[in-house]
Amino acid sequence: MLKRLKDLSRAALAMAALGCMGTTAVQAQEVKKRWDSYLSMGQPRATEAAVQNDIKSFFAHYEDDKPFAWEVKRQHVQANKVVYDYRAKPEAIVSTDWVYKFSGQEYTSEDGTRLAILAKLASDPECPATTLVEDEWTDIPSLGHGDDGSVTHEEKKFHYTINDFFAGTQTCSARQGWQTAFRDRTAVCPNRSGMLWNDAIQMCSLIQQDESAMAPMLSYTSTPLPPQECPVGNPCDPTTGDKSQPELDFDFGWVSFRRHYHSLTSTAGGALGTGWTHSHNLRLTAAVDNSTFPPSSELKVGLIEGGGGQIAFQKVGGQYEAMDGRGDRAAPQGSGWLLSRAQERILFNADGLMQRRDFEDGTWLVYARDARGRLLSITHSTGRRLDIQYAAPGDDALISTISVAGQVVAAYGYSATGELTTVTYVDGGLRTYHYEDARFPGYLTGVTAEDSRRYSWYGYDAKGRVTYSRHSGDCTQADVGIDGVRLDYTTAGPVIVTDALGKQSTYALTASGSSGLPRKVNGITDSNGTAGRTYLPEGTDFRRRLQSSTDRRGVVTQYAYAEASDPTAGAVTVTTTTEAAGTPQQRVSEMRVALDSNRLVQQTVGNQETRITRNARLQPTSVTVRDTTTNQTRVTTQNYCEAEGPDCPQVGLLRSIDGPRTDVTDTVTYAWYTADDAGCATNGACAFRKGDLRSITSALGHTVETLAYDAFGRPLSVRDANGVVTDYTYHPRGWPTSITVRGATTAEDRSTQLSYWPTGHVQQVTEPDGSSVTYVYDAAQRLTDIADSAGNTIHYTLDNAGNRLQENTVDAGGTLRRTLARVYNTLGQLTTLKDAGNNATGFAYDANGNPQSVTDALQRVTSQQYDPLNRLAQTLQDVGGVAAEIRSSYNALDQVIQVTDPKGLHTTYAYNGFGDLTGQVSPDSGSATFTVDTAGNRKTRTDARGVTATYSYDALNRLAGIAYPDPNLDVGYHYDTAPAVCASDERFAKGRLGQVLHANGSTVYCHDRFGQVTRKVQTINGVASTLRYAYSKSGRLTALTYPDGSVADYARDALGRISQIGLTRPGQARQVVVNNVTYAAFGPATGWTYGNGRQLQRPLDLDYRPQAVHDPAAGGLSLGYGYDPVGSITELKNGAGSEVLAKYAYDTLGRLIQTQDGATGTPIETYGYDATGNRTSLTTSAGTASYTYPADSHRLIAVDGQARNPDAAGNTT
């Protein structure tokens, strides 16, 4: 075989040298992916399966016993291509059963052999039976061994004792000897002309010599599939035509497992069938390029992410930097590699397989593998472990189950051709995957969710590019479908994407160029305009980082990059971003990232600079925020375990965070379990593991402690600072099913229950009092209905994008009670909001999607304009009428620094570099200044009169006191200690306000274990008044005790709504105050009966506005209401609506300008306003009174000629 393959290899390489093989550089601009191999003989293939078949077809000549099973063994990511090493999968040795031989005969079992020996050596019937004593089977080396070295030829001696009968003496005589039996079997590798035993992996694999010699023929190439930079739909990538699908199987906090499908690539080690990989299959590729002739000697480094994206790295000094511009760095470490990313460090072995991940919080994951490189387990720093099994029928390279703590959490099923078809979860939920396109076996065409409803459909064109992705109907339907997208690929390059609402967006792509680098989106054009991007050229920046972006309003953001030396971090990359470049609002920000670690070092925006220092593990040890104008700083420091000890189970765990304040100790401390619970070693109850968080203690010593975790690392029981325990239970798939706050007795426990649909969406929430709400979803898993336990419902009518077009509230009898309608444009923007009376409010937007105008049902227009940074700059109310204008301007931190009112007067605000307000100048309140402490808490406020209020805070930054020049006005706040008046079951005070000291007295509060105020005692001038409160299990008020001892009680219906109110006076029987309270579905009260038997009825319209408030009995209250199209009350009528009692008129800004007599329309009061909203006149039957304001403020200085005198702060004196 070797000579034949070598001859073919030389021929293929020669063809490549002559240009007969396709190159990987894309020459045409149309989006498409091509696949090349030597065995494709210069004919690029449209799909990966096609190029794999070329290799399979050639090697089919060497399949002695059965077809090879093939796999992508490894990949090598380069800047313009990915080389796939395609190999026959290792096979188990094929062993036959033993065949036993004795005296020229064969037997299928040892027992049969033994019986044959006994039959041959039978004793005389008159004597005891023959006995056998057997040796052990022993190898016969001269006859050879199996391909794996196993014994295939053995012999055994059977020592016998035969008894002969002598008739003369009538005795039996024993004679002894032995017989030898043999057994044989075969143990051979399948397809022996191509496979030999591989001792390293304990399986049969391709002959190493042949594999090395034929490596170019056992590989193929294609363009890289970079991480999606601009996905659309569910998602699809318009830059490549790839259909991807992320699927989360579980997330336990310490570890999660997410599968990722790609239609346009396989991933080595994915182990989940065609096209699939998973979040723990990161692979670093480092190899020379053997797909070229002559082969290159340059080491090419790349990364295959857990999501399947392929990223090439460029050598920079002694390291390699990711070419996608994210700054990831790979460097040799020992025999392997260390990858430094923004939030983690990853160690790979020499084969590029992930060995360990270290996270910034001090935890880590360690990966264990077998000799073949298969992932067997993932162990967390706490010792919890995820185990992976490979018992999939027919292919032991495919994952069959994943287990945690001995429990299978996901089981995977496959088709005969290796496609992942099902995932079965621990609760029995079954998720099914479809591959229905006969043109492209292995292309995912849809998913059926755990509720047995088809969830999604995907479609592809003749070139294998994704064209449809939707959550309703198949891909033959005319509409794009729910949550859908349709992609149309033009021969010129741009891709037209039509979304669920019919919006068409054209994606323009950069040219691939002669180097064939992955293409980028450089413009998206829709009906609102074009958002464009430019990138640095490859010759200037191998990363091709973003150079500029232009939004649909034409505003440009520029990006510049440089390298610099930082005094503590060393070499850094400096990224400078200039937003709204060339405009008065231009904003420049800077970010510095360490070159070697890719960790953030410094950020600067405006006059705020944030700097991070790190330890050797790259954990933040301090965060310093500096006001670059004043040079003031605020420092927060983190302290970590630096060595294992009594308080530190593991190096790198957080011990404390010391806040920026220097006047108090504001340190939060963390404690960890330093050893496993005793039950962990005996397979008993394992309440916690070494390294689990035990408690968090505030600066004032308030501790929250986690008492127990389950086997999956989820908290089971937590005790708060007041000693109250909250217990949690979970669905088998990890969703919380109950949250129980423990009472003093079991009967007092408060438990909230949650149930779920098979898909994991919440089905029902049941409160501690038994009231519940149920949620219903459509097949696309969108919320469509909400129902309470009384049978009232809210139904949502959705468009294809999931926008709520209509909301209908229906009562238990099926009667419509409330309705609301909306209209959206193809951009997904709300354009019309209609009430039940079909009164419409219209909305319009600018090119960037900012709300630009609102036209109410009375056709009154409010317009809004935005500055180049998309901040609201102008509001114009009643355009074309009053035209009340408000203008705003901002600082670099997006804080308002000036507001100009409709009168043209300015209010200005000043801030420090930390974003704290330091000054305010108002034409009405004058000039005020503020000081703050190092945590940003306000320390003083000095108003325009020079009056200063001083504020103090405790170590938790809670307001502790306000001091005024007049001590009688001081206010003090006390926390965490229960006042003496509180009973024993009302002393759960930690973290809660207990007392307020104020002028002439105090107010104290008592709290129960659930945090509810149970007693309030207000003392004024020595007189104490007490209110007491009682609550239902759901925390709703059930009783209120007044200072005189009277008790108002509140009875509630099954939904927790008040149904009756009673009053019990001291020494008297209970009286019913209100009874028979009725409600609208999911709405307010519609009526009730008073204790004297009279009724109050509040019928509501379909907007839930009261139509009337009336008592049907004679002489009762009787009022009705009339509304204008925007909902303002325009008429006050009698309850029957037959008589108008009063009328109300409004100006175009919605302000009340006149009240009129209902019968005659005669004005009663008329009001005038200026554009700002100040009243300028009041006209009554007595005449008109005018209100006077100075030109430079809104201070009222006269009413109808009577002067009013404000002080410097605007207070009327």
> Is 378 exposed, middle or buried (CB count within 10 Å of its CB: 0-12, 13-18, 19+)?
buried
Q: How confident is the model at residue 12 (pLDDT cuts 50, 70, 90)?
A: very low
> Percent of the chain scored above 90 by pLDDT?
90
pLDDT of 609 higher than 60:
yes
Q: 640-657 pLDDT, tens per residue?
A: 999 999 999 999 999 999
pLDDT of 5 higher than 80:
no
**pTM of the predicted protein model:** 0.94
Q: How confident is the model at residue 981 (pLDDT cuts 50, 70, 90)?
A: very high
* Residues sharing a CB contact under 8 Å with residue 1153, sequence separation 6 or more, in sequence order: 1145, 1146, 1147, 1166, 1167, 1168, 1169
Of 223-227, 352-356, 616-620, the poorest mean pLDDT is in 223-227
Average pLDDT, integer, range 139-166: 94
Q: How confident is the model at residue 1101 (pLDDT cuts 50, 70, 90)?
A: very high
What are the percentages of helix, strand and coil residues in the chain, rounded to 5? 5, 50, 45
pLDDT of residue 229: 76
Phi, psi of 10 (to 5 degrees): -65, -40
Average pLDDT, integer, range 1141-1153: 98
pLDDT of residue 685: 87
Run of H or E including 89:
none
Alpha helices in 632-735 (DSSP H): none
**Who has greater pLDDT, 514 or 112?**
112
Q: Is 482:475 a contact under the CB 8 Å cutoff?
A: no
pLDDT of residue 21: 40
* Residues sharing a CB contact under 8 Å with residue 431, sequence separation 6 or more, in sequence order: 247, 422, 423, 424, 425, 447, 448, 449, 450
Q: How confident is the model at residue 713 (pLDDT cuts 50, 70, 90)?
A: very high
Cα dihedral 1125/1131/1135/1137 (nearest 10) = -70
Q: How confident is the model at residue 871 (pLDDT cuts 50, 70, 90)?
A: very high
pLDDT of residue 515: 78
pLDDT of residue 157: 96
Of 509-513, 627-631, 892-896, the poorest mean pLDDT is in 509-513
What does the alpha-carbon distance between residue 227 and residue 247 come to, in Å, rounded to a whole number?
16
pLDDT of residue 230: 81
Q: Is 278:306 a contact under the CB 8 Å cutoff?
A: yes
Average pLDDT, integer, range 784-806: 98
Average pLDDT, integer, range 695-721: 98
pLDDT of residue 11: 44
Q: 887-905 pLDDT, tens per residue?
A: 999 999 999 999 999 999 9
Q: Mind giving me the DSSP string for 217-237?
A: GGEEEE---PPPSS-BTTTEE
Contacts 24+ apart (CB under 8 A), 576-581: 579/868, 579/869, 580/555, 580/556, 580/867, 580/868, 580/869, 581/548, 581/556, 581/557
C-alpha distances (whole Å) from 314 to each of 79, 80, 323 are 8, 12, 6
Q: Is 1031:742 a contact under the CB 8 Å cutoff?
A: no
What does the alpha-carbon distance between residue 1172 and residue 975 come to, in Å, rounded to a whole number?
42
pLDDT of 877 higher than 90:
yes
pLDDT of 25 higher than 90:
no
C-alpha distances (whole Å) from 390 to each of 300, 312, 377, 378, 416 are 32, 31, 12, 15, 16
Q: 227-264 pLDDT, tens per residue?
A: 987 899 989 999 999 999 999 999 999 999 999 999 99
Residue recorded with tokens 């790839």: 242
Q: How confident is the model at residue 65 (pLDDT cuts 50, 70, 90)?
A: confident
Q: 408-435 pLDDT, tens per residue?
A: 999 999 999 999 999 999 999 999 999 9
Name which of 560, 571, 575, 548 is nearest 329 in CA terms: 571
Q: Is 558:577 a contact under the CB 8 Å cutoff?
A: yes
Q: What is the mean pLDDT of the chain?
A: 95
C-alpha distances (whole Å) from 1130 to each of 841, 1088, 1098, 1148, 1151 are 19, 26, 18, 14, 12
β strands within 136-202, DSSP E: 138-139, 153-166, 171-184, 187-188, 195-198
> Percent of the chain scored above 70 by pLDDT?
97
Q: 749-774 pLDDT, tens per residue?
A: 999 999 999 999 999 999 999 999 99
Residue recorded with tokens 């090349």: 36
What does the alpha-carbon distance between residue 958 and residue 943 come to, in Å, rounded to a whole number?
23
pLDDT of residue 459: 97
Name which of 720, 726, 771 is nearest 1035 in CA terms: 771
Q: How confident is the model at residue 18 (pLDDT cuts 50, 70, 90)?
A: very low
pLDDT of 1 higher than 90:
no
pLDDT of 808 higher than 50:
yes
Q: 73-103 pLDDT, tens per residue?
A: 999 999 999 999 999 999 999 999 999 999 9
Q: 293-336 pLDDT, tens per residue?
A: 777 788 999 999 999 999 999 999 999 999 999 999 999 999 99
pLDDT of 22 higher than 90:
no
Q: Is 863:852 a contact under the CB 8 Å cutoff?
A: yes
Phi, psi of 583 (to 5 degrees): -105, 165
Q: How many CB atoms lie within 10 A of CB 956?
A: 17
pLDDT of 26 higher than 60:
no
